[in-house]
Amino acid sequence: MTTIKPSKTTVSYDSVKLGIDAHAKYYWVSRQIDGATPQPVQKMTCDELLLFVVKQQKLTPNLFTC
């Protein structure tokens, strides 16, 4: 019997930049990968933002926030 393990392909980027606009209840976040045009803004709670940041850290050694 042969066991086939799915490959763990992780896309790696040179840099990921997150522009974060903090409000009382929600955070509005825009992401820019490498030198591409920034992606559309996403609305997140604090917990969602923290999970999102952890996922981004796995994609690049250079994560910037402002």
Q: Where is average pLDDT lowest: 1-5, 17-21, 30-34?
A: 1-5
Q: What is the percent of the chain with per-residue pLDDT over 70, rounded to a whole number?
A: 83
Q: Which is nearest to 44 in space by CA: 23, 63, 15, 16?
A: 23
For residues 44 and 24, is the Cβ–Cβ distance under 8 A? no
Domain ranges of the chain: 16-65
pLDDT of 6 > 50? The answer is no
Whole-model pTM above 0.85?
no
Give the tens place of pLDDT for each residue, 35-51: 999 999 999 999 999 99
DSSP 20-48: EEE-SS-EEEEEEETTSPPPPPEEE-HHH
